[in-house]
Structure 1
Amino acid sequence: MHRYPFLRLLIPVICGIIIGDYLFFRSQHVWIQPFILLFICSALLLPTLFFLKKYSLRWLYGISVYICLFSAGAILTSWQLQQTSYTFPPSGAVYRAVITDKPEVKERTLLCRTRLWESRYLLSVAFPRKNILLYLPKDSTSLSLQNGDEILFSALLSPPRNNYNLGDFDYARYLTRKTISGIGFVKKNNWTVTCHNPHRSLRQMASKCREQILALYIELGFQGDEFAVLSALTVGYKEELSEEIRKSYSVSGASHVLALSGLHIGLLYGLLLFFLKRRPFNTVGVKIFRIAIILTTLWGFAFVTGLSPSVVRSVLMFSLFAFSEFKTGKYISMNTLAAAALLMLLYNPCWIFDVGFQLSFCAVAAILLIYSPLYRMWKVNNRIIRYFWGIVTVSLAAQTGVTPLILLYFSRFSTYFLLTNLFVIVLVTGIMYAAVAMLIVSSFPTISCFATTIVEKLIKTLNFTVRRMEQLPFASIDNVQIHPLEALSFYLIIMLCLCYLQFRKAKYLMGMLICVLIINSFWALRMFIHF
């Protein structure tokens, strides 16, 4: 832990966020004041202990830092969740809102993510500035709505409530963490468009750019599953993915490639490093030029994909990796990863509850900790075999890091994930690079047709491979239910195992056995309750 100071700072922040979230949903307006007082006291104590410079009080300084960070995490979480809470009028009111994302077509309605600008109820006028989910009746008028349109509507809005058809899933808490303040259903003839695209925020311009790329894909002849997979891989648009293709990727263990995040940004980052590292000089000027090119390309890619939260998180993480390489000469380290997580959580503490955020950081952390020891277990001289051995070890390391979370959230384990990723990662890499080339040459019909054919063949091969893996016997183990404490115990076992392999101390082995005992106790208790 002493080698990773940012990791030591990250842990109390995460604990504070979890406690702040728990207490908010228990009592929304009571617990933030004690945390503010605790933060002020610990912050005032820090400079006093620092200037005393007494070695015997070093533990008190460390505790004060941890309390300060813990309180900061709880305060930020409570404040953000309180900003989301809003009391809507008890009956129908008139609202003015702006559509903030591309409307999503449902079976009978059109889902619009909107931001309220103004509300009028009786004689009062308010400016709530809150995000809401608005369901409009599906007709020719609503289907013509676009991102950025301003609408005027009359409806009864209400805070998010749990849908008991979803079982144990807390839908209200999920939406609140996503800064959604309310939900409303608008009847036919109770809404109208006041103007088109009056508000052009950066996010809306990015979404418009993504829509233009999707239109270009259709113009180039992509359709069906090929269009859906290409849209998900390159610009993160997953609305066209059918349930059949989603299930195929999930069962085969390849669903992670459909979520535009760390893997795809990592491929782009690796391509940039491959070309930029070929410059013969390594002076400060060359390093600054290299970082400028990397940051411009990564954030440009984030812009054309609509600035979705998962892509922004991944780009921010790799931007910090680029700065780390400039400062230390190392591309990625656990300390840099912890610093990226800390900055992201200070910006938006509710990201810690996002499944994509958890999967991304656990996968990268596992690769950093496990990949090198695994890769060195077999020394391969052949270049081609060494490349595939690298894919196998990276896949095994990443799967080790995300398996407890996958079991916790999805209750499924894909048994052929190694075999699947051996083919899928190679194909996705080819698709990403070929798609970039296709977009670059899209203005040249002859070359564009050739590039389009290559991309289409690669996507068909990818879908065929995934479906074949899905059809293999025992392709997945389903309905594996685990408790969050069991998932935490699994991660403790992984960490203690790594510590034991490195330091060979009995206390780590004892800790592993205690975690195994805890997991077995949970299973025994669940079986006892079930029977």
Structure 2
Amino acid sequence: MYVTLPNTEVYLIYPRQTLIIEGNLYQPRSPKNPGAFDFKKYLAKQGSFSGLKGEKVVFRTDKKLWGWTNLRNRIINGFTDALGKENGLVISSIILGRRAVDLPPETRDLFVNIGLAHVFAASGFHVALLLGIVFWITQSLSPKKKLILGIVILIFYVGLTGIQPSILRAALMGSSVLIGQVLDRKTNALGALLLSGFLLLSINPLWIWDLGFKLSFLATFALLVTSPFIEKKLDFLPPKLAGMIAVPIAVSIWTSPLIMYFFHGFSFYLIPFNILATPLIMLLVVGGIISAVFILIIPNLGILIAKILFWPLQILLQSAQQIPQLKLSAFAVGQISLVTLIIIYSILVTIWLNKRFQKYWHIGALIIIGLIIIPIIYKNITLLKITVLEGNKVPIIVMQNRGKVTLINVGSETDIKYTLSPFLSQQGINKINTVIITNNQDELSLSIIKKKIKINSIIDLFDNKEFNNSHQVVEEDSTIIKAMNRESGIIKWQIKDKYWLWIDGQKLDPQSISVHLNHGLDVLLWSGKKLSSDWIKLLKKYQPKILIISTNYLPSFIKTKLNQENLKWYWIERDGAIQWIPNQGIKPLFNNQEEDS
């Protein structure tokens, strides 16, 4: 079961407690909008099929905080004392991994968007540096003593970070290196990687769905099979510099297709920023591990050492915050199909296995780029569709007309983050030609969307100075949008030969809008005031071909009347996003939406 609690309660909870929680049970729902996070599917992959929205803990066993949790909290508190809360949580996440630390979502999303998500994933990078420190300190010890000490340190580190697939995989590989030293045999790193992956999936097959596990596996694989190849190509550079450049390039080659498949985007600054950030990250990881050790042994000394990390951390954070401001920092590639993903990785594997194909690697690279870019170009030339997305207050309409995008309503800050931005990324939209705002739009949302995507023009549909009842707002190719009535919030648009009418007023009566209805109406989008019997009579009279309803609640008797009048209707709250495509008509994008309970 997935349980959430207020922050005031969460800080009082630790492992091995028995709790009684008061709250509301719920069944996780599938997303209503394309591109949105599928919470139900995510929980199912974790083996959870229900949720509890906890309000308070009414009983907890009073057990003394001990073990890994106590040590982890001491390290986190030490870093926050030395660097402040925000910086302390960031360095704690870098050392212990994001699952061991409650990192602010804004910071986590920032690093994900610029391609540095691995910084907060305790994995092979951390284990390699940790073992490097151990080998340096224990140079005079015998291999057997190195093995014992190394295994103890790895177990200790895994315990601190928690049972995370990526760190377990790295620890198993690190152990194989230690064993190889004792036996005086060279470790087959690739074999160790495959064996560790097999063992972990045998223990918990659900980890196959863990994106962090897959990315960690691919990144390590890239270091073993592709990084040496790139280093040879960079033999004109000093070896250490060539290695620093080769590692992020190799990792990006193998992980970027999977990242684009899940997140529908790519950053052109991914490789350059990774190259520049690597020395800082290494300094922070090494310095963080050393200071964490002293925080546990001599807290005051550990805090003093941690303070040295302030400026390197600030440089990393400030640089990361500047990347999203640059052009092409986030390029939406759209939804990559599973078949395309398989073809891309098949090409990469073929180049790796076949030395003959390695000579023509640039041809494989061009094919991969073509597989990603050609669908985007084809969409811009041919695609014509309208999508009605569910918003918190009013629906959001996205019109795609052969590369030109018109957006009616931006929605709230929450809508932008969880509905609009994921949809634009999934559709491969990197520019909006026209944003049309209505009575419901606030300035904060506009400022947020302008930072996320390029917008050519913004038009206030009901501007007090320019508005008149026949004011034509947009006319691009086959799209015409008009404002019909400010008070009633009535908008009419025509795309090709289809006529849409959107009524979004709270103070309406049938007579005030009957003048805007006609018998040739193809789609009526209804939001705002709840439907009543009088409205049903009006709809029966004018018989729009399709009725789309966007309200939080729809009474059962209204549903019955709509069915009795043989009106074809959709309810966004139940059916999710609605889409119109020529020759296909209007249909919900999700056919498995749960009935509203």
**TM-score > 0.5 by shorter chain:** yes
TM-score, structure 1 length as denominator?
Answer: 0.62
- Residues 306-354 of structure 1, C-alpha deviation per residue, up to 9 Å, x if partnerless? 3344323332333234335555733452222111111111111111111
* Correspondence for 1:148: 16
* Correspondence for 1:9: none
Q: Residues 158-237 of structure 1: matches in 2 within 5 Å?
A: 160-164=28-32, 167=35, 169-186=37-54, 192-197=58-63, 205-219=67-81, 221-237=82-98
* Correspondence for 1:10: none
The whole-number CA distance in structure 2 between the counterparts of 1:504 and 1:464 is: 39
* Correspondence for 1:37: none
User: Structure 1 residues 305-314 or 138-147, which shifts more?
Assistant: 138-147
The whole-number CA distance in structure 1 between the counterparts of 2:303 and 2:147 is: 34
Q: Residues 480-519 of structure 1: matches in 2 within 5 Å?
A: 480-502=334-356
User: Measured at CA, do residues 169 and 444 of structure 1 come closer, stay the same or move farther in structure 2, by a change above 3 Å?
Assistant: closer
SS at match of 1:452: helix
* Correspondence for 2:219: 363
SS at match of 2:226: helix
Which of 270, 274, 288 pairs up with 1:435?
288
Q: Residues 366-377 of structure 1: matches in 2 within 5 Å?
A: 366-377=222-233
Which of 401, 405, 422 pairs up with 2:275?
422
CA contact (8 A) 1:206 1:307 kept: no
Which of 312, 330, 354 pairs up with 1:476?
330
User: Structure 1 residues 513-522 or 254-263, which shifts more?
Assistant: 513-522
CA contact (8 A) 2:2 2:50 kept: yes
Q: Residues 256-295 of structure 1: matches in 2 within 5 Å?
A: 256-276=118-138, 278-279=139-140, 286-295=142-151
Pairwise CA distance, 1:526: 6.6
The whole-number CA distance in structure 1 between the counterparts of 2:242 and 2:84 is: 35
* Correspondence for 1:300: 156
Pairwise CA distance, 1:279: 4.2
* Correspondence for 1:135: 4
Question: Percent identity between the aligned chains?
Answer: 21
- The number of residue pairs the alignment matches comes to 382
* Correspondence for 2:480: none
Pairwise CA distance, 1:186: 4.2
Pairwise CA distance, 1:420: 1.4
Amino acid at match of 1:230: I
The whole-number CA distance in structure 2 between the counterparts of 1:135 and 1:497 is: 46
CA contact (8 A) 1:363 1:402 kept: yes
Pairwise CA distance, 1:454: 1.1
- Residues 31-65 of structure 1, C-alpha deviation per residue, up to 9 Å, x if partnerless? xxxxxxxxxxxxxxxxxxxxxxxxxxxxxxxxxxx
User: Measured at CA, do residues 372 and 180 of structure 1 come closer, stay the same or move farther in structure 2, by a change above 3 Å?
Assistant: same
The whole-number CA distance in structure 1 between the counterparts of 2:329 and 2:102 is: 25
* Correspondence for 2:312: 458
User: Measured at CA, do residues 415 and 521 of structure 1 come closer, stay the same or move farther in structure 2, by a change above 3 Å?
Assistant: closer
Pairwise CA distance, 1:193: 1.0
Q: Residues 358-397 of structure 1: matches in 2 within 5 Å?
A: 358-380=214-236, 385-397=238-250
User: Measured at CA, do residues 273 and 330 of structure 1 come closer, stay the same or move farther in structure 2, by a change above 3 Å?
Assistant: farther
The whole-number CA distance in structure 2 between the counterparts of 1:344 and 1:175 is: 20
Runs of at least 5 residues in structure 2 that lack an aligned partner in the other structure: 385-597
User: Structure 1 residues 166-175 or 345-354, which shifts more?
Assistant: 166-175
CA contact (8 A) 1:254 1:424 kept: no
* Correspondence for 1:398: 251
Pairwise CA distance, 1:403: 1.0
The whole-number CA distance in structure 1 between the counterparts of 2:102 and 2:226 is: 36
Which of 164, 168, 187 pairs up with 1:312?
168
Amino acid at match of 2:339: L
Is structure 2 residue 206 aligned with structure 1 residue 353? no
SS at match of 2:51: strand
Pairwise CA distance, 1:261: 2.1
SS at match of 1:164: coil
The whole-number CA distance in structure 2 between the counterparts of 1:154 and 1:225 is: 31
Which of 315, 333, 338 pairs up with 2:189?
333
SS at match of 2:255: helix
TM-score, structure 2 length as denominator?
Answer: 0.56
The whole-number CA distance in structure 2 between the counterparts of 1:211 and 1:447 is: 17
User: Measured at CA, do residues 377 and 526 of structure 1 come closer, stay the same or move farther in structure 2, by a change above 3 Å?
Assistant: same
If you compute each CA radius of gyration, which structure gives the higher value, 1 or 2? 2
Pairwise CA distance, 1:450: 4.3
Pairwise CA distance, 1:514: 9.3
CA contact (8 A) 2:98 2:120 kept: no
Q: Residues 54-133 of structure 1: matches in 2 within 5 Å?
A: 132-133=1-2
The whole-number CA distance in structure 1 between the counterparts of 2:363 and 2:234 is: 29
* Correspondence for 2:540: none
SS at match of 1:319: helix
SS at match of 1:192: strand
SS at match of 2:163: coil
Q: CA RMSD in A?
A: 3.6
CA contact (8 A) 1:324 1:336 kept: no
The whole-number CA distance in structure 2 between the counterparts of 1:497 and 1:371 is: 13
Amino acid at match of 1:208: N
- Residues 351-402 of structure 1, C-alpha deviation per residue, up to 9 Å, x if partnerless? 1111011101111112211111211223357xxx421221101111111110
CA contact (8 A) 1:325 1:332 kept: no
CA contact (8 A) 2:115 2:270 kept: yes
Amino acid at match of 1:174: Y
User: Measured at CA, do residues 424 and 515 of structure 1 come closer, stay the same or move farther in structure 2, by a change above 3 Å?
Assistant: closer
